[in-house]
Amino acid sequence: MKKSKLMTLNKAIFQYVNDGDSIVMGSGLESMIPFAAAYELVRQQKKNLNLIAPISDILFDILIGAGLVLKITAAWSGNVSAGLGHNYRRSLEKGIPHRVQVEDHSNFTLGLALLAGSMGIPFLPTKTLLGTDLLRSNPRFKVEKSPFGDERFVYVPSLNPDVAILGVQRADEDGGCHFWGNLGLSQDAALASKKVILLAEEIVSKETISSDPNRVLLPSFKVTAVVHCPAFSHPSPMQGYYKRDHDFFHEYHQVTKQEAGFQDWLHKWVLTPSSHEDYIRLLGERVEQLRVKQRITAPEINYAFQ
Amino acid sequence: MEYTTEELMVVAAAREIQNHEVVFVGMRLPMLAFGVAKKLHAPNAVGFFECGIVRDEPSEELLYTMGDPPNIAGASWCTSTNHLMFLMQQGLIDIGFIGGAQIDKYGNVNTSYLGDINQPTVKLPGSGGAADIACLSKRLLVIMSHEKRRLVDKVDYITSPGFGSGQNWRKHSGLPRGGTSSLITNLAILKPDDETKELHIQSIHPGVSEDKVKDHTGWDIQISPNVSSTPPPTKEELDVLRSIDPRGFWTKRKQTGVKLQ
């Protein structure tokens, strides 16, 4: 019997995220973003993080405002349904709380960087970004002729992040997991990263996971820790479990216009609750209102061999 | 029939989608434009959403983001962002839609930095998938507000390239195809001149004067010889749009419908 990888969120973040780490969070773009882990990073006051994601809605803005971030490696940072990210703006325009470094990407180049990392090669070529100023603001991109002809390509250097923190619908104690919905860059990020922390809505048996191997996101040996963390994605949505809490994003946009307002927000929602369970209690009936009650199921498929 | 400027813009954008086209759908207003086109004149259009979703049918509920659960239920494919970008790089996307903060006379869009990159006056969110759509789709459609500070002679930073510095720039840069085919604003529709690639006024929205469009543009904008008046949204178009966004969240019809504490 293998040793269980199941542990609390507190312990997983304490044990497997170090100051200065590069961390993928929100690789699925707007859905299943591991906000619970972001809040725990703030509670544990992790420092000098390099956050990697294409678009992770307000997660980056929160961590930038909380002062944890040295650098973002991203395609987009803001508030998807409400507008700009006020903390991101304060950081880059006024140095509040400090100026974060930005490694500019598009969604595609970030995807290629993680894909190259997952493939174990140093770069991948692409036609995207030719002629753009991303080539100027991110000097890591190189433009070179192809060795097979005269065509020019952007060469995107690979990324192998220290940790990927990924949300899934269900996992077993060994790190086998089922994921459904849009993938974004989650699979590329999972395969490219040195450590993978899974936040799972439900913990299920190993038999449940192996009953449907096509729905498995990555092999369990790549998984470092499994955390049972219901509603970890709030306020972002999780297919089959929770709707998106639109109001929460819009309230955040309103109250964080001033830095003091952000500090109040952080105190209320992140620092006062001592754990994710406390945060869920603070949300109160909101969680029940967001819970998906309907069922839309796929017909069974047959894996039999006799 | 009364309508808001945003409704006119969404309808104008929807009309750019032809039946059977594959459309790369950007954040916010483009999501509505795709829905309107699908339900009216382009029932066979296919929608690509950068988070990894392909849809043959528009979602059954209003989307605040493209990753919302109604956009996944009933999708024709849920996959990775990379897979969709690969297909676009091959040349399989007919038209891509993006928004912007700043655009210039050659249709280059900036959504990254206003001012200097090392000391920006405004830090905008960045590319997302917009730069990829602008580089790799066959036609690029941009939707944005028409203000002198936004429609400028030259953008501070090219996030999403239009025609760069003019004719042949894309080819010289190594881009395989594409370019800005339309800019839809709250005042007019701008299209590139066939020769110079500079955006000119193709049609002016009802009730807007030619002088107003010129006054709100940051370069000496030319008028197309066959300039027209933008046809207002029909009742059918508005009915469909309002069935998708009943509270007018994206089209500012009433209050946003979002409770603010």
Cα–Cα dist A221/A213, whole Å = 15
Query: H or E stretch including B102?
Result: strand B102-104
At B57 the three-state DSSP class reads: coil
Q: Determine, for residues B159 and A134 on separate chains, whether the beta-carbon distance falls below 8 Å.
A: yes
Cα–Cα dist B183/B201, whole Å = 10
Q: Strands A152-157 and A123-126: what pairing? A: antiparallel
Q: Measuring CA to CA, which residue among A29, A117, A209, A74 is closest to residue B79?
A: A29
Tell me what the mean pLDDT of segment A199-214 comes to.
Answer: 98
Cα–Cα dist B224/A54, whole Å = 39
The ipTM, to two decimals, is: 0.97
CA distance A227 to chain B (A): 23
Query: H or E stretch including B29?
Result: helix B29-39
Q: Flag whether residue B65 sits within 8 Å of chain A, measured between CB atoms.
A: yes
Cα–Cα dist B249/B7, whole Å = 11
Architecture of domain B99-225: 3-Layer(aba) Sandwich (3.40)
Please report the pLDDT score of residue B254 as a whole number. 53
Q: Is the model's pLDDT at A1 over the cut of 70?
A: no
Residues of B annotated as catalytic are: 50
Tell me what the mean pLDDT of segment A246-264 comes to.
Answer: 98
Tell me the count of A-B CB pairs closer than 8 A: 202
Cα–Cα dist A277/A284, whole Å = 11
Query: H or E stretch including B114?
Result: strand B113-115
Q: Determine, for residues B53 and A93 on separate chains, whether the beta-carbon distance falls below 8 Å.
A: no
A56: nearest CA in chain B?
B128
Secondary structure of chain A in HEC code, one letter for each residue: CCCCCECCHHHHHHHHCCCCCEEEECCCCCCCCCHHHHHHHHHCCCCCEEEEEEECCCHHHHHHHCCCEEEEEEEECCECCCECCHHHHHHHHHCCCCCCEEEECCHHHHHHHHHHHHHCCCEEEECCCCCCCHHHHCCCCEEEECCCCCCEEEEEECCCCCEEEEEEEEECCCCCEECCCCCECHHHHHHHCCEEEEEEEEECCHHHHHCCHHHECCCHHHCCEEEECCCCCCCCCECCCECCCHHHHHHHHHHCCCHHHHHHHHHHHHHCCCCHHHHHHHHCHHHHHHECCCCCCCCCCCCCCC
Query: Are the C-beta atoms of A92 and A78 separated by less than 8 Å?
Result: no
The identity of residue A145, as a single letter, is K
CA distance A194 to chain B (A): 20
Q: Determine, for residues A183 and B123 on separate chains, whether the beta-carbon distance falls below 8 Å.
A: no
Q: Flag whether residue B107 sits within 8 Å of chain A, measured between CB atoms.
A: no
Closest partner residue to B52 among A74, A78, A184, by Cβ? A184
Please name the residue that has the structure tokens 């989650």: A186
Q: Flag whether residue B82 sits within 8 Å of chain A, measured between CB atoms.
A: yes
Q: Determine, for residues B80 and A136 on separate chains, whether the beta-carbon distance falls below 8 Å.
A: no
Query: Are the C-beta atoms of B219 and B153 separated by less than 8 Å?
Result: yes
Tell me what the mean pLDDT of segment A11-39 comes to.
Answer: 98
pLDDT tens-place values along chain B, 261 residues long: 799 999 999 999 999 999 999 999 987 888 899 999 999 999 999 999 999 999 999 898 999 999 999 999 999 999 999 999 999 999 999 999 999 999 999 999 999 999 999 999 999 999 999 999 999 999 999 999 999 999 999 999 999 999 999 999 999 999 999 999 999 999 999 999 999 999 999 999 999 999 999 999 999 999 999 999 999 999 999 999 999 999 898 888 654 333 322
Q: Determine, for residues A134 and B130 on separate chains, whether the beta-carbon distance falls below 8 Å.
A: no
* B135 vs A contacts (CB less than 8 Å): 127-132
CATH assignment of A9-107+160-290?
Answer: 3.40.1080.10
Tell me what the mean pLDDT of segment A62-80 comes to.
Answer: 97
Per-domain residue ranges for chain B? 1-93+231-261, 99-225
Please report the pLDDT score of residue B259 as a whole number. 32
CA distance A213 to chain B (A): 16
Decide yes or no: CATH 3.40.1080.10 for domain B1-93+231-261: yes
Q: Flag whether residue B165 sits within 8 Å of chain A, measured between CB atoms.
A: no
For an interface test with B, which of A110, A133, A136 has the most B Cβ atoms less than 10 Å from its Cβ?
A133
Query: Are the C-beta atoms of B101 and B124 separated by less than 8 Å?
Result: yes
Tell me what the mean pLDDT of segment A182-186 comes to.
Answer: 98
Query: Are the C-beta atoms of A93 and B114 separated by less than 8 Å?
Result: no
Please report the pLDDT score of residue B28 as a whole number. 82
A296: nearest CA in chain B?
B73
Q: To the nearest whole percent, how much of chain A has pLDDT over 70?
A: 100
**H-type helices in B60-189, by residue range?**
69-72, 81-90, 130-136, 169-173
Closest partner residue to A134 among B50, B72, B131, by Cβ? B131
Per-domain residue ranges for chain A? 9-107+160-290, 123-157
Q: Measuring CA to CA, which residue among A183, A169, A296 is closest to residue B59?
A: A296
Q: Which two tokens stand for residue A230?
A: 């219901």
Please report the pLDDT score of residue A3 as a whole number. 85
CA distance A3 to chain B (A): 32
Neighbours of A153 (CB within 10 A): 19
Query: Are the C-beta atoms of B115 and A89 separated by less than 8 Å?
Result: no
Neighbours of B232 (CB within 10 A): 17
At B139 the three-state DSSP class reads: strand
Query: H or E stretch including B32?
Result: helix B29-39
Cα–Cα dist B63/B100, whole Å = 19
* A251 vs B contacts (CB less than 8 Å): 260-261
Q: Determine, for residues A183 and B73 on separate chains, whether the beta-carbon distance falls below 8 Å.
A: no
* B129 vs A contacts (CB less than 8 Å): 54, 75, 106-108
The 10s digit of each residue's pLDDT in A88-111 is 999 999 999 999 999 999 999 999
Q: Measuring CA to CA, which residue among A83, A117, A112 is closest to residue A254?
A: A83
- How far is the CA of A28 from the CAs of A178, A235, B85, B261, in angstroms? 15, 14, 15, 29
Residue-averaged pLDDT of chain A = 97
Please report the pLDDT score of residue B252 as a whole number. 80
Q: Which of residues 181-240 of B touch A (CB under 8 A)?
A: none
Secondary structure of A182-237 in HEC code, one letter for each residue: CCECHHHHHHHCCEEEEEEEEECCHHHHHCCHHHECCCHHHCCEEEECCCCCCCCC
Tell me what the mean pLDDT of segment A182-193 comes to.
Answer: 98
Q: Is the model's pLDDT at A298 over the cut of 50?
A: yes
Closest partner residue to B65 among A75, A81, A185, by Cβ? A81
Q: Strands A49-55 and A69-76: what pairing? A: parallel
Q: Determine, for residues A106 and B129 on separate chains, whether the beta-carbon distance falls below 8 Å.
A: yes
Tell me what the mean pLDDT of segment A45-63 comes to.
Answer: 97
* Radius of gyration of the CA atoms of chain B, in A: 18
Q: Flag whether residue B81 sits within 8 Å of chain A, measured between CB atoms.
A: yes
